[in-house]
Amino acid sequence: MAKQNQILLTLALLIFSLISSATGAAEKPRGVTYDSRSLIVNGNRELFFSGSIHYPRSPPEMWPDIIRKAKEGGINLIQTYVFWNIHEHIQGQFDFEGNYDIVKFIKEIGKQGLYVTLRIGPYIEAEWTSGGFPYWLREVKNITFRSYNEPFVYHMKKYAEMVIELMKKEKLFAPQGGPIILAQIENEYNNVQLAYKENGKKYIEWAANMAVGLYNGVPWIMCKQKDAPPSVINTCNGRHCGDTFTGPNGPNKPSLWTENWTAQYRTYGDPPAQRSAEDLAFSVARFFAKNGTLTNYYMYYGGTNFGRTSSSFVTTRYYDEAPLDEFGLMRDPKWSHLRDLHRALRLSRRALLWGTPTVQKINENLEITVYEKPGPDHMCAAFLTNNHTKLPSNITFRGAEYYLPEKSISILADCKTVVYNTQTVVSQHNSRNFVPSEKAKNLKWEIYQEKVPTIHDLALKNRDPLELYSLTKDKSDYAWYSTSINLDRRDLPMRPDILPVLQIASMGHALVAFVNGQYVGFGHGNNIEKSFVFRQPVVLKPGINHITLLAETIGYPNSGAYMEKRFAGPRGVTLQGLMAGTLDITLNVWGHEVGVYGEKEQLFTEEGAKKVKWNSLAGPPPGPVTWLKTYFDAPEGTDPVALRMDKMQKGMMWVNGKSLGRYWASFLSPLGQPTQSEYHIPRAFLKPNNNLLVVFEETGGHPEIIQIVTVNRDTICSMITEYHPPNVKYWERSRSKFRAVVEDLKAGAHLTCPDDNVIEKVEFASYGDPDGACGNFYMGNCTSPNSIKVAEKYCLGKHTCSIPVEREVFDEPNKDPCPNIFKTLAVQVKCVVPKKN
């Protein structure tokens, strides 16, 4: 009996132990900590591949697909700013609806199993108007932005509290079971800190303490802040943080990279911004080789600056060269080459997180970095680096020789096998196509001419022209200025070949000038120099002459010190060439009015459009300050939609009352082309039929040439050499076991059509020494005559295909046209929607 009782007692103790253990596991606190090696989320170390995606730059209907594609690209963390000036555009009134619904956005990220970095600012830069500050903040008495200034810190703390409380209320922080694992306060403050002297240092310390005091459940970071207070982590922004980052400013802080710029945002007048997938991949591999454990691509998806949200002179399209383009389409090889990089680094994960690093410098350009942990559960990963920008090299490591292309890093996930090289792209490429819609063509335009006012029409009078920012108060891009002057016949030039000249010195950004209701000309600054001088000959008459200006802002400034002290608009107006000389009319008394009539009446909506009489577009192209409207049906298919505006000049666009943003086709880049020609119309904005399209054109254009187009990346390509490593997807790791998952590890051209499309045509194929890029390949000096035939055999009619890069596949023995060269296979195919049976 005693023995039986002992057994029962032992069983009871065992059950109690198991229950306690299970309960303890269930009650294990969730949270985020860190040390000098990495972030630790819910007790687990991880490598983070993050992508910036901003919720206001796409409609909510696009969010799930964009996040899904980021996840498929190996992203496990999404970074976003919080945009103060959209949430509190009017002081005390908050807006979290539509594409401003940050809670919905973060919950969607969490739903798809990804984490979030929340950059609350309140200064965000982001090429966003006013850097995220609402206009009303500028008018707070005695305020100085981003300084230890009592009015500013009061409003900043109030805003930060609102954001943090909202996140806590919705249980979005990691300790609450939500996806937010990092938060950022301020943004790149070192760029301006010296301008604020002692108040700059006090401000940054106050900001860090304020943030941690509001919520300390996740780590706080400050980017580009070398002297970040101990309570926050300083992080790097730039293109090559593996070489430029001086490192954390504390012994227990990890190396984090918050902005790895995937290209460069564009301003009007800029040529295309470029950054290769190879350079991006090199920079990330370099950072992880040097103790980094988190990189963030700024941007991973840029999206669209709808409405008037872009900062000064920034285009409506934002970071289109990111891995996901403006339309949410995968830009290959950038998207796919980075996806493969993330997989290669994850194959090396355990060694990178728990191994000890050693660095061997072979020479000035060659370097070997090894992360290794000896023992029964042996871990090892290596980075072989060639820093030479022009010459490839061979490197010997642990008895084996490895070939390194110029400016490249090879990743050896087991210190033996090259699973990835940053310079050799084995993933596919694609090219973007804009296709005129068949359903939305033959647009029938109607016009309404905006009236050019005189001083008598404008109620707000002032001796000299009012400053433009404080006049418009961010309610419109436009403001009318008008004055009048009485001239005698003897004031005017007597010779018919001489005309007076109207000169306007403006602090920015642009203006349209009229004399006696007639268009005189258009002048503007640029992103580097906002101010400009407008000079045009004008026809004046004896008697009263009306001089009217439509002054314009193109977004508010978003960077630099003392942003609250920026100015714009006309500041000096003269008439030159009069018989009495130059006449300064700056102090002549001016009338002012914010906005244009069509804006106030909302002619871009169905109800507003009924308020005026529209006329059919006939005869010569419409002149300046003209409203144009038409209707169109939603384009065929499901591809993204855009508006091609390259034959217009400058203005704004709306579809069904929703602003698509500014367009500016007349501001040409040095290449002689508009910086942006196509403007995104999200499918979510469209109805099946009778969509209202309204354009406000400032100076005149050719609306009859406006096109509605669909957008695809159905042209896909591959360019593979004989020495390319096999795709990283051919390997896998299960704890310490690293193995190939296929028997044949040879390189090949792998092509996959988007969606469910299939390959209809091989547009180019050459096995030899072709060159060029996807959409623009060309033959070299030698090619196999069977190239097209082989590509068609492997790919026609298929959704996905693989073409071996093997000489015997293309040419019979002794019939190789160029046997003594390293061979390259370039292939380009066209994908289409499969035909229904």
Residue 259 designated active-site: yes
Please tell me the distance from the alpha carbon of residue 759 to that of residue 751, in angstroms, as a whole number. Answer: 9
Phi, psi of 740, rounded to the nearest 5 degrees: -80, 145
Phi, psi of 74, rounded to the nearest 5 degrees: 90, 5
Three-point CA angle 43, 45, 46, nearest 5°: 130
How many angstroms separate the Cα of 63 from the Cα of each of 5, 301, 401, 718?
62, 11, 46, 29
One-character DSSP codes across 775-807 = TEEE--S-B-TTHHHHHHHHHTT-SEEEEE--H
Token representation of residue 60 = 């909510």
CB within 8 Å of 102: residues ≥ 6 apart: 55, 80, 82, 87, 96, 166
Cβ pair 680, 642 in contact under 8 A: yes
User: What residue has token string 């045009």?
Assistant: 536
Token representation of residue 604 = 């871009």
Of the candidates 584, 576, 504, 515, the one whose C-alpha atom is nearest the C-alpha of residue 543 is 515
Which 8-state DSSP code applies to residue 668?
Answer: B
Cβ pair 652, 663 in contact under 8 A: yes
Which 8-state DSSP code applies to residue 639?
Answer: S
Q: Which of 188, 278, 321, 593 is catalytic?
A: 188
Please tell me the distance from the alpha carbon of residue 660 to that of residue 647, in angstroms, as a whole number. Answer: 17
Quick check: helix, strand or coil at residue 636? Answer: coil
Which 8-state DSSP code applies to residue 130?
Answer: G
CB within 8 Å of 435: residues ≥ 6 apart: 639, 709, 710, 711, 712
How many angstroms separate the Cα of 227 from the Cα of each of 190, 248, 349, 380, 396?
8, 9, 30, 34, 41
Phi, psi of 822, rounded to the nearest 5 degrees: -70, 130
581-584: strand order across its sheet = 532-537, 501-506, 570-578, 581-584
Q: Which of 259, 367, 552, 564 is catalytic?
A: 259
Cβ pair 561, 195 in contact under 8 A: yes
Give the number of other CB atoms < 10 A from CB of residue 42: 15
Residue 722 designated active-site: no
How many angstroms separate the Cα of 184 from the Cα of each of 103, 222, 613, 706?
17, 6, 52, 43
Please tell me the distance from the alpha carbon of residue 126 to that of residue 132, in angstroms, as a whole number. Answer: 8
Token representation of residue 4 = 């039986």
**CA 212 remoteness from chain centre:** 29
Where would I find the H helices in 73-127?
84-87, 102-111
End-to-end CA distance of the chain: 79
Q: Provide the β-strand partners of residue 518.
A: 515
**Pairing between β-strand 543-552 and β-strand 510-515 as defined by DSSP bridges:** antiparallel
Phi, psi of 5, rounded to the nearest 5 degrees: -65, -35
The single-letter code of the amino acid at 577 is G
For every residue of 395-425, which 3-state class applies, written as one string? EEECCEEEEECCCEEEEECCCCCEEEECCCC
Q: Considering only CA atoms, give the Rg of the chain.
A: 31
Judged on CB neighbours under 10 Å (0-12, 13-18, 19+), 453 is buried
Give the number of other CB atoms < 10 A from CB of residue 796: 14
The sign one gets for the Cα dihedral 438, 439, 442, 446 is: negative
Of the candidates 476, 498, 479, 571, the one whose C-alpha atom is nearest the C-alpha of residue 530 is 571
The single-letter code of the amino acid at 774 is C
Q: Annotated active-site positions, please?
A: 188, 259
